[in-house]
Amino acid sequence: MRKGMVFILAGVLVLSSLVLVGCGSPEQTLISRYIQAVNMNDKDTLTKITPNPVAVNLTKWKIVEKTQPVEKKVSLADLKKKVLEAKKKMNELQQNAALAKLDFDDFAKKYEKWPRGLKRRNKKKYEELKSKYEDLKAQFLAAKDDYNKVLEKFNFEKKLQALSVGDIPELEKMSGKAYEEEIVIEGTDKNGKTRKFKFYLVRYELTKPGATQPIRGRWVVRKIEEILPNEGTKAEEKAETPEEEAKEKMEKSEGKEAPTAEAKEKTEEPEEEPAETQENEKK
């Protein structure tokens, strides 16, 4: 009898949660599904909602802020074009840097064997070849960084669109609209601590090439950020700690001027040059 009552109560609780989820807006339903999946460690459901899951372990929660959906045009084809352009530029600079390195290395081998007088007469050429290689290498590394960023953006956008409208073969050729919305929720975790999270939601309406009617996608989560309590402004973040304030007062009483922010910046060690050489790039 007791076991029967337990099963009945469990069924009522599950049914109640489903009813509550179904009563909300599509966005609220999505967040409810997400939090339930986190609490149940349901990784399969999480991967169908967002490319980058974040642990939002809340027992109770409510929506406290909500923005109106913002519409914007999207096209994976345009992003892919930027990826190919960035890759072409990177490859060209890599080749130019490799040729410049060969010229410099060949000249440097001869230069090192020459007597002082001959070295002095050819020092300018040595420095020019070295500077040319270093400049092209820096351009290549910057182009490589740009390529990696645009490629990452393309892959992330493709994942989001696939989650929203489905993994369609023609997805990279489709274009349309994206509707973005931000929702802030507040709730309590299992320890009774109040926490806030901001959900960045997106929904796509994409049209296949040659088609007239768009495919209406569902809401998915672009990213999630936790809003920490007592987050101050930038000016407040730069406020001195009690130890720094006491130290400053002591230095002033001794007739010393406290170091300014500019002086502190000057004392910081400069960034190291990239250790990755062109030869490593070839490898």
Burial 96-112 (b: 16+ CB within 10 A, else e): bbbebbeebeebeeebe
Percent residues over pLDDT 70 in the chain: 73
Number of domains in the chain: 1
Q: Indicate the burial class of 30 (C-beta count within 10 angstroms; 0-12, 13-18, 19 or more).
A: buried
Is 35 a residue whose pLDDT tops 70? yes
- Rounded to an integer, the average pLDDT of 153-168 is 96
* Tokens read off for 175: 């274009």
What count of other Cβ atoms lies within 10 Å of the Cβ of residue 31? Answer: 26
Round to whole Å and give the CA distance between 236 and 230: 11
> What torsion, rounded to 10 degrees, do the Cα atoms 169, 171, 173, 179 define?
160
Does residue 30 lie within any of the structural domains?
Answer: yes
- Rounded to an integer, the average pLDDT of 129-145 is 97
* Alpha carbons within 13 A on the beta-carbon side of 92: 6
Does residue 276 lie within any of the structural domains?
Answer: no
Is 139 a residue whose pLDDT tops 60? yes
* Alpha carbons within 13 A on the beta-carbon side of 216: 0
pLDDT at site 25? 87
**Which stretch of 8-12, 69-73, 99-103 has the lowest confidence by average pLDDT?**
8-12
Q: What residues contact residue 247 under an 8 Å CB cut-off, 6+ apart?
A: 258
Does residue 147 lie within any of the structural domains?
Answer: yes
* Alpha carbons within 13 A on the beta-carbon side of 254: 9
Question: DSSP class of residue 254?
Answer: T
Round to whole Å and give the CA distance between 86 and 93: 11
pLDDT at site 124? 95
Instruction: Give the tens place of pLDDT for each residue, 74-89.
Output: 999 999 999 999 999 9
Round to whole Å and give the CA distance between 31 and 15: 18
What's the mean pLDDT when you consider all of the chain?
81
pLDDT at site 106? 96
Instruction: Give the tens place of pLDDT for each residue, 176-218.
Output: 999 999 999 999 999 999 999 999 999 999 999 989 899 999 9
Question: DSSP class of residue 223?
Answer: E
Does residue 144 lie within any of the structural domains?
Answer: yes
Is 241 a residue whose pLDDT tops 50? no
Which domain does 226 fall in, by range?
Answer: 1-235
Q: Which of 275, 278, 282, 241 is nearest to 103 (CA)?
A: 278
- Rounded to an integer, the average pLDDT of 40-52 is 95
Beta bridge partners of 164: none
Percent residues over pLDDT 90 in the chain: 69
Q: Are 274 and 141 in contact (CB under 8 A)?
A: yes
* Tokens read off for 221: 């989560």
- Rounded to an integer, the average pLDDT of 18-25 is 50
Does residue 257 lie within any of the structural domains?
Answer: no
pLDDT at site 247? 54
**Amino acid at the residue 265:** E
Does residue 213 lie within any of the structural domains?
Answer: yes
Is 133 a residue whose pLDDT tops 70? yes
pLDDT at site 229? 80
Does residue 256 lie within any of the structural domains?
Answer: no
Q: Say what the pTM is.
A: 0.69
Q: Which of 39, 62, 41 is nearest to 185 (CA)?
A: 62
> Phi, psi (5° rounding) for residue 126?
-60, -45
Does residue 29 lie within any of the structural domains?
Answer: yes
